[in-house]
Amino acid sequence: MATEQAPSGLERELERMLEIEKFEPPAGFRAEALWSDPAIYEEAGSDPEGWWLARAKELLDWETEPAQSLNDSNPPFYKWFEDGRLNASYNCLDRHVEAGRGDRIAYHWRGEEGERRDITYAELLDQTQRFANALKGLGVEKGDVVGIYLPMIPEVAVAMLACARIGAVHNVVFGGFSAESVRERMEFSEAKALVTVDGARRKGKTAPIKETVDEHLGDLDSLATIVVVRATGIECPMQDGRDVFFDEACAAADPTCPAEPMEAEHPLFILYTSGSTAKPKGILHTTGGYLTGATTTHRYVFDLKPEQDVYWCAADVGWVTGHSYIVYGPLANGATSVMWEGAPDYPHQGIWWELIEDYRATILYAAPTAIRTFIKWGEQIPAKYDLSSLRLLGSVGEPINPKAWLWYHKVIGGERCPVVDTWWQTETGAIMITPLPGITETKPGSATRPFPGISGEVVSEREGEPVSEGQGLLVLERPWPSMLRTLYKEDDRFIETYFQKFGDGRYLAGDAARRDSDGYFWVIGRIDDVVNVSGHRLSTAEVESAIVAHENVAEAAVIGQSDEQTGQAICAFVTLAGSTEPSEALQEEIRAEVAERIGKFARPKRIVWADDLPKTRSGKIMRRLLRDIAEGRALGDVTTLKDPAVMAELEGKIAAEEADGGG
């Protein structure tokens, strides 16, 4: 433990600010805001379907305008704007170029080593058309699935938009996932092609990607083509007849590829996310509704003025936040974005603030885990840069603790920027609960209220009745345009996971929440076995199955434990096989196994050796009790435990670990 220090001036100030209950939208901000009249909530709430249809027409260009809004004839398989036809890449690119905005910068890309690429809408359209033709030439057709496993380089947007242009369904896998995870996702979705890189850079090091992809996916039958972006120039194996270089394929392709109008309900993408079991869920989104949700929320939650703003969403395109708020929302709105290839501490801990100063960024959208990291590094780092261009700050991915909210507001936002804490999920496609920056009074730690046209509630576990005091389950009460349409090839699991519990078309989000006396929502966290590490969603079952793959492991139980830095951290209780003796080396081997099977970010922070795990008489592991002891809490109800001695033994282990100075 560090010796206690006197609180700094800033800390005292933040303590004082904790007393402030509500923050009004800054007057100057409200005066200029796109939406400043709270009547928008009633307007949308009185006729959500009509209101969403109006947004779809206001913000998108349709080849055939929809007359229909929601079709709920076969719940929970809802359809939106079914009779409309449009193309997502046309909405993101062509229409801006046709309107004379082709020279506007779509992305200010910055590479880890300082490389700069400013890509205009016209250039993005050109590359997208060429790559769309290249894909066609490789045999990719409308409805085919195309995997994308790329780092944060502009080609990731090109690849996604090229798919959308020809009606292929992209399936992006976050670059931090292992090749084994990519394999699983390509196999489940029967991907026909995969777009990847020769190698990927991270903090000055280059890792071979194509070579690893070959090792893990080489024998996948469905995968007919691998397209390789030369991102680093490192040598990589290429298989004749299967592999092509992205640049060569584009150079050889016809430069014009008209955007093909799609039915509104044509699938746009699949994105795998973690659920309660080890098998990831393939969230399926379609074209018209998804684009309406992403574009409307991006415009009005961030108060986006495309001619003036420089917007930066510091997520990775491999997560839904990147899909909706780096690619589709911003491009459909004609925004200029910053795209940063690297980590927040390379080449130095001030890189984010340097980028904001350089590009005069006006909007920053980031995760609480990043903010907490910056707090740890100290306010003297951002203080060295000119952040006066910022006018709005956003937060996403996990609950933001009030202190981090206040620090963000004060140190980064200079107290002039509204903070929008946005709650949503891969499944919801777009922001669901959020302040409107020119209207809503904010409370640090609360995502406030549902976006207009969205209806949320906190209900009791048993009856599904609204809970006015205390904790309950977060539900969304009616369908919305950007909702998932199903779990890819798992319709039954889709119904069971989200719609079975309460019926009546109520969507079960899987989060616990409470509402306060103003009706504001406070999201607490997941109720299922999903852990949120630095805003990355993981299932405990997924990590458990990676750990038991180690030959010396007999059994494992994984829980999320609260962590000051990452929100939650993975804690694994591991029972070794036979006479295997626990050791530090074995801990490292187990972590390596998890990195190999899932990705580095899933490695357990803490491993507790357990001779036995607490189980019910029917053999179910009682993770609830493991959470209690890991957090140092009194144990909850132990009456269903088969062998109470197991817990005493584990408590002894934890006490010894703590006496040791932590695992």
**Based on CB atoms, which residue is closest to ligand 7RM, 97 or 473?**
473
Alpha helices in 224-272 (DSSP H): 246-252
What does the H/E/C string look like for 193-223?
EEEEECEEEECCEEEECHHHHHHHHCCCCCC
Q: How far is the CB of 315 from ligand 7RM (least distance, A)?
A: 8
Q: Which is nearer to ligand 7RM, 316 or 341 (CB)?
A: 316
CB of 313 to ligand 7RM, least distance (A): 11
Q: Are 364 and 389 in contact (CB under 8 A)?
A: no
Please say which residue, 76 or 397, places its beta carbon nearer to ligand 7RM.
Answer: 397
Compute the least distance from the CB of residue 529 to ligand 7RM, in Å.
Answer: 12
Phi-psi label, residue 552: left if phi above 0, alpha if psi -120 to 50, beta otherwise: alpha
d(CA 432, CA 452): 9
Helix (H) or strand (E) holding 86: strand 85-86
Q: Determine the distance from the C-alpha atom of residue 250 to the mean position of all C-alpha atoms in its chain, rounded to a whole number.
A: 30
Would you say 408 or 573 has its CB closer to ligand 7RM? 408
Residues β-bridged to residue 539? 530
- Smaller CB separation from ligand 7RM, 320 or 417: 320
Q: Under a CB-based contact definition with an 8 Å cutoff, are residues 105 and 233 in contact?
A: no
Nearer Cβ to ligand 7RM, position 198 or 511? 511
CB of 523 to ligand 7RM, least distance (A): 4
Chain residues binding ligand 7RM by CB under 6 A are: 273, 319-321, 396-399, 421-426, 447, 509-511, 523, 525-526, 532, 535, 537
Kindly tell me which of 334 and 394 has the beta carbon lying closer to ligand 7RM: 394
Query: What span, in angstroms and rounded, lies between the C-alpha atoms of 283 and 84?
Result: 22
Contact 253, 133 (CB under 8 A): yes
The least distance separating ligand 7RM from the CB of residue 390, rounded to whole angstroms, comes to 19
Query: Which residues, 6 or more positions from 653, have their beta carbon under 8 angstroms from its beta carbon?
Result: 608, 609, 610
Contact 508, 575 (CB under 8 A): no
Minimum Å gap between C-beta 398 and ligand 7RM is: 5
Least distance between ligand 7RM and beta carbon 236 (Å): 31
As beta bridge partners, residue 642 has: none
Instruction: CB nearer to ligand 7RM: give 330 or 535.
Output: 535
Count of CB atoms within 10 A of residue 648's CB?
9
How far is the C-alpha of 190 from the C-alpha of 75, rounded, in Å? 27
| Cβ atoms 422, 436 nearer than 8 A | no
Q: Which of 248, 242, 265 lies closest to 139 in space, CA to CA? A: 242
When the beta carbons of 321 and 545 are compared against ligand 7RM, the nearer one is 321
Instruction: Report how far apart, in Å, the C-alpha atoms of 244 and of each of 218, 464, 504 are.
Output: 15, 54, 50
Q: 223 or 271, CB closer to ligand 7RM?
A: 271
Nearer to ligand 7RM (CB atom), residue 160 or residue 396 = 396
User: Please, what is the minimum distance in Å from the beta carbon of residue 91 to ligand 7RM?
Assistant: 22
CA 507 – CA 499 distance, rounded (Å):
5
Residue 296 main-chain phi, psi, to 5 deg: -65, -45
Q: Residue 429 Cβ, how far from ligand 7RM at the closest point, in Å?
A: 10
Least distance in Å: CB of 448 to ligand 7RM? 10
Distance, CA of 577 to CA of 611 (rounded, Å) = 10
In the chain the first and final C-alpha atoms are separated, in Å, by 14
